[in-house]
């Protein structure tokens, strides 16, 4: 077998194209076939050198990137990731996913992604600041509030956005909404830090409601979560608020399992310590873990260790659920799987979840219902687009306003996926729930493709 040269990007491409091809879209409307060749090539990729000085006054050098993938629906929009694994395959996969995710929000944002192979772990605050300034020295030529609006992603949070914004403002002499996830006193939106995690849980609420015909909600549900960064923290808090029990969290070194459920206080402790890149293994020495002890499993992901679960929310990184782990989750009774991470499930895992969904014998029998990140984690970028709107108006909305807009739009997005999946599905089992992966891909793709036709990027 030929090894793909961009494995993550080819995986993301295949996930979208295989579900579109399994639907009746191209039979009903063959003009859309032409879009496939065009939309898979980024409009532009910027690659650059980032030279910066570490605390020992030595030269350090990293690779910087911005993939400006598609601007059919608005300025390029998507996060920046700082991680040693960052390369073009990763950023093209993330940028490609972002196009359709952003389309699903119903707001005017195109798709992009960027970042660097810089590893901020173990770096001082001064080193992180100097890196951000050096990175923005080049990036600032290619972005702007109406061109391309980056945000955070893995290892890029409020602190990094602050330094990047400060650098942009100095270099361009322009105070503008060029980044989202900004501080609350200089143009940030309330609820932006919470948005991805909250939005994910709002989405799953709709899944539960739809599958049980309104009979169930999060009350009493056991919820396995991976990751312990921004997305995992706020997803966990919202689950607790809605009466569910968070039975796991994890980081790159290991997993914590909590039989009685992680507490909001423990999550606050994790949130603080993670800014300083502390590991869960160290964090659980805090007194907050004495009264409500957790089990720590080194080197493990949660999925095969969580015991009986109702909901699984992968919130760490790509390909964090393997086929075997998906089977273990099914055996553990999982009913709803929704990704807070981007492409959290491998194709093998998706095949397991989708296979279970299709095998449903009757509408009342339990089935596993999988939601891809591009739908279920869209709340983050959705509130980013609301932040752009507030910046254009030069006002700040209240938390209640932003949260209710997020909630409403996550419901719309869920219903849109159901509508498309139902309209274009060729599945013969009428008892099974609609495919949320097919529905999300169709809804996002058609919206982007129609705009590309309008602009003459592709023609029939």
98 is in an annotated binding site: yes
Q: Is 361 annotated as a binding residue?
A: no
User: What is the rounded CA–CA span in Å between residue 444 and residue 442?
Assistant: 6
Q: Is 193 exposed, middle or buried (0-12, 13-18, 19+ CB in 10 A)?
A: buried
Q: Is 230 annotated as a binding residue?
A: yes
Q: Shortest gap between Cβ of 214 and ligand GLU (angstroms)?
A: 30
Q: What is the DSSP letter of 397?
A: -
State which H helix or E strand residue 418 sits in: helix 399-424
Query: Which residue's CB is nearer to ligand GLU, number 271 or number 380?
Result: 380
Tell me the C-alpha to C-alpha distance, in Å, between residue 124 and each of 54, 127, 175, 277, 331. 9, 5, 27, 11, 44
d(CA 304, CA 347): 18
Q: Which is nearer to ligand GLU, 244 or 380 (CB)?
A: 380
Q: Residue 318 CB, nearest distance to ligand GLU (Å)? A: 11
32 versus 203: smaller Cβ distance to ligand GLU: 203
Quote the distance between the C-alpha of residue 299 and its chain's center.
23
Question: What's CA 61's distance to the chain center, in Å?
Answer: 28
Residue whose C-alpha is closest to residue 145's, from 129, 169, 128: 169
- Kindly state the smallest distance separating residue 135's Cβ from ligand GLU, in Å: 16
CB 10 within 8 A of CB 4: yes
How near is the Cβ of 380 to ligand GLU at its closest, in Å? 4
> How far, in Å, CA of 358 to CA of 289, rounded?
41
Task: Classify residue 393 as exposed, middle or buried by CB count within 10 Å of its CB (0-12, 13-18, 19+).
Answer: exposed
Angle (CA) 305 237 357, round 5°: 55
State the Cα–Cα distance between residues 194 and 400, nearest whole angstrom: 13
Q: Is 152 annotated as a binding residue?
A: yes
- Minimal CB distance to ligand GLU: which residue? 79
DSSP type of residue 287: T
Closer Cβ to ligand GLU, 178 or 311, answer by number: 178
Shortest Cβ distance from residue 56 to ligand GLU (Å)?
Answer: 32
Residues forming the active site:
113
Min. distance of Cβ 336 from ligand GLU in angstroms? 21
Rounded to an integer, what distance in angstroms lies between the CA atom of residue 112 and that of residue 99?
7
Do the annotations mark residue 77 as ligand-binding?
yes
Is 169 annotated to bind a ligand? Reply is: no
Residue whose CB is less far from ligand GLU, 78 or 177: 78
Residues of this chain that bind ligand GLU (CB under 6 A)? 77-79, 151, 153, 180, 342, 380-381, 384
Q: Which CB atom, from 78 or from 120, has the smaller least distance to ligand GLU?
A: 78
Annotated binding residues: 77, 98, 101, 152, 196, 230, 384
Annotated binding residues for substrate: 77, 98, 101, 152, 384
């Amino acid at each position: 077998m030929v090894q793909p040269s961009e494995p993550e990007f080819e995986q993301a491409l295949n996930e979208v194209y295989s579900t579109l091809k399994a639907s009746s879209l191209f039979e009903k409307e063959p003009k859309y076939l032409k879009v496939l060749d065009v939309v898979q090539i980024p409009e532009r990729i910027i690659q650059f050198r980032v030279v910066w000085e570490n605390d020992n006054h030595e030269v350090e050098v990293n690779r910087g990137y911005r993939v400006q993938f598609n601007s059919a629906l608005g300025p390029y929009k998507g996060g920046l990731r700082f991680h040693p694994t960052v390369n073009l395959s990763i950023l093209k996969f993330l940028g490609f996913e972002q196009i359709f995710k952003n389309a699903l929000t119903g707001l005017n944002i195109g798709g992009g992604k960027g970042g660097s192979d810089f590893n901020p772990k173990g770096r001082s605050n001064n080193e992180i600041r100097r890196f951000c300034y050096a990175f923005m020295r080049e990036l600032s030529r290619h972005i702007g509030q109406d061109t391309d609006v980056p945000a955070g992603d893995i290892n890029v949070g409020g602190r990094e956005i602050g330094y990047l914004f400060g650098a942009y403002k100095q270099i361009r002499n322009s105070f503008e909404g060029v980044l989202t996830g900004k501080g609350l006193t200089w143009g940030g939106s309330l609820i932006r830090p919470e948005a991805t995690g909250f939005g994910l849980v709002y989405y799953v609420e709709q899944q539960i409601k739809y599958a049980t015909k309104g009979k169930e909600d999060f009350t009493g549900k056991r919820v396995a979560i991976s990751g312990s960064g921004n997305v995992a923290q706020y997803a966990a808090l919202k689950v607790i608020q809605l009466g569910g029990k968070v039975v796991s969290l994890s980081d790159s070194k290991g997993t914590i399992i909590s039989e009685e459920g992680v507490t909001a206080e423990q999550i606050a402790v994790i949130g603080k310590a993670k800014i300083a890149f502390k590991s869960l293994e160290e964090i659980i020495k805090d007194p907050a873990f004495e009264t409500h002890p957790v089990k720590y499993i080194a080197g493990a992901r949660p999925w095969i260790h969580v015991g009986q679960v109702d909901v699984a929310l992968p919130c760490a990184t790509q390909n964090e659920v393997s086929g075997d782990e998906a089977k273990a989750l099914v055996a553990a009774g999982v009913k709803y799987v929704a990704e807070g991470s981007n492409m959290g499930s491998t194709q093998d895992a998706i095949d397991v979840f989708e296979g279970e969904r299709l095998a449903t014998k009757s509408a009342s029998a339990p089935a596993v219902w999988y939601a891809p990140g591009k739908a279920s984690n869209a709340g983050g970028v959705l509130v980013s687009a609301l932040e752009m709107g507030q910046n254009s108006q030069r006002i700040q909305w209240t938390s209640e306003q932003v949260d209710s807009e997020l909630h409403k739009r996550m419901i719309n997005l869920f219903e849109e996926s159901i509508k498309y999946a139902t309209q274009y599905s060729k599945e013969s089992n009428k008892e099974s729930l609609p495919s949320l992966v097919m529905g999300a891909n169709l809804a996002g793709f058609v919206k982007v493709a129609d705009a590309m036709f309008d602009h003459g990027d592709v023609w029939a």
